[in-house]
Every structure is written in C-alpha cells, then in structure tokens.
Amino acid sequence: METIRMKNQLYQMAERNKLILSSTLELKRPSRWRKQKKKNTLKCSSLNMILLLLLHPVTLAPLKLLLFVFQADALLDVYAKMGDFNNAERLFDEMGVRDIATWNALISGLAQGSRARDALELFKRMGFQGLKRNEVTVLGAPSACSHLGALGEGEAVYSFVKENGLDGNVQVCNAVIDMYAKCGLVEKARNVFNSMNCSKSLVSWNAMIMGFAMHGHGVDALELFNEMGRVGVVPDGITYLAALCACNHAGLVYLDPWWILG
C-alpha cells in the first residue's frame, strides 16, 4: 500500500510539473529546434535535478545523499523561481548546513514573489544569527521594503549597505534608488543617485527619471533625461517611456520638443 501511495504522489507531482519535464526534454532535441522553442525552455542543470524535484515532496530521508550530490541550493533556487515557496521553505528548513547562496536564493524568491514580509524577516534572521550578508542578499531587501511601504526598515537596510561598503555595487544602489522612489521619497532617491560610489548604469538613470516622473517632478525628470545625453548615456525604450510619463504627470503637453531633445 505504501508503494502505491508513493507512486500516486509521484504521478500527481509529475502532472503538476509537466511543463518542467517537457522543457527539460527539449534540451535533447537538435539545436535548431531548441532555438525555435527557446522561450518555452526552463533552464535546469539536468534531468537528474528535475527527477529530484519530483521526488523531494514525497520523502526526503532516502535522498540525503542525492541532495548532497545534486546541490540542494540549486533545487531550492528552482522552487523559489517557480513560486513554490512551501517546498522551498520546507527544503530550507530540512537542510542541515546552509551557505549564503541558500539564504540568498530564498530571500530573492520571496521578494520577487508575493512574500515580501517573509523576505524581509529572513534578511533580518540572517543578521540575528551573525551570518554575513553580501550584495546579493541585500538586493531582495529594498524590493521587499518598497512592496510593503516599510520605510523605516528600508532606511535600516540602506544604513547596512553603507556601513558594509555595499554602496559600491551598482545593482544595490539601483535597488535603493527604486525603493526610495516607490516610497515617494524622490529627494532621498536623488541623494543616493548623486552619491553613488560606482559608475551609474542605464538602469540607474531610468529608475531616477521614472521616480521623478511618477511623483509629478516632470521638470526634474526631463532635466535628468537631458543630462543623460550630455554625459553620453544612450537612452532606451524605458527611458523614453519615463520621459513621456513625466510630461503626462506634470502636464507638460506643450513643452518645446527642442528643450526635451537638448
């Protein structure tokens, strides 16, 4: 009876993960076929990882060796990216030893999903346990704060970033700019933008321009748009969308196009 029950569970999991299996089998097809189906291909390391993904919810005890061999971190990352947070958290709790990649995978997955509060709590838990948090860990925290509107916690995250020298990472700075902008604190976002200890990326400019635009600072947004051109940064579609939003929100319908284009 136990064997039948396990087979039924495996069948149910196989049905639930049909997309993953079919996508993995695509890897065996000719390269020309893979290019045509690239959008439908889920990037998984191997068929063994998928089989482990199917087996894990049934029972973990017989698979401890496999978890070691096939890297539980990678499996947890698959769960998190699929939005299967129940199994991601279950695997996280069952892991005897967790490295920073384990924590980062779950924090990032929770922050990008609908579990911003849980992502923030996990970020804090790392600190309480004396674990070193790096720039990858930090990336999920500002995003979680902006989703929650948790400005006080966002300020604490930014203080942590500065104290630990992580403000030299452009992705971290972009995340903080985006957090402040989404919380309505565009001046603080601008201060972070101006004081970046690294080269600004196109994402940095877009985040700041969109931040100005969404809060009615149309002139500031367009001035920053012009500054991009002066320093040689080439705008993309998101930049132009932000500039149009700035005109819309600030009522700048009849603005001289030569002023916008510099």
Question: What is the C-alpha to C-alpha distance for residues 209 and 17, in angstroms, rounded to an integer?
Answer: 41
Establish if 213 belongs to a structural domain.
yes
What pLDDT score does 255 carry? 55
Structure confidence by residue, pLDDT tens digits, 207-247 = 999 999 999 898 899 999 999 989 999 999 999 999 888 88
Higher model confidence: residue 257 or residue 108?
108
What pLDDT score does 142 carry? 92
Establish if 209 belongs to a structural domain.
yes
Which whole number is the average pLDDT over 62-81?
A: 64
Establish if 247 belongs to a structural domain.
yes
Establish if 248 belongs to a structural domain.
yes
Specify the length of the chain in residues. Answer: 262
Domain total of the chain: 1
* Structural domain boundaries enclosing 248: 200-262
Structure confidence by residue, pLDDT tens digits, 10-41 = 334 444 444 443 443 344 444 444 444 444 43
Question: Is 36 within 8 Å of 85 (Cβ atoms)?
Answer: no
Which whole number is the average pLDDT over 78-101?
A: 84
**At 18, which amino acid appears?**
K
- pTM (2 decimals)? 0.71
Establish if 257 belongs to a structural domain.
yes
What pLDDT score does 159 carry? 93
Establish if 96 belongs to a structural domain.
no
**At residue 58, does pLDDT exceed 80?**
no
Establish if 4 belongs to a structural domain.
no
Establish if 48 belongs to a structural domain.
no
**At residue 137, does pLDDT exceed 50?**
yes
What pLDDT score does 169 carry? 94
Q: What token pair was written down for 258?
A: 């030569």
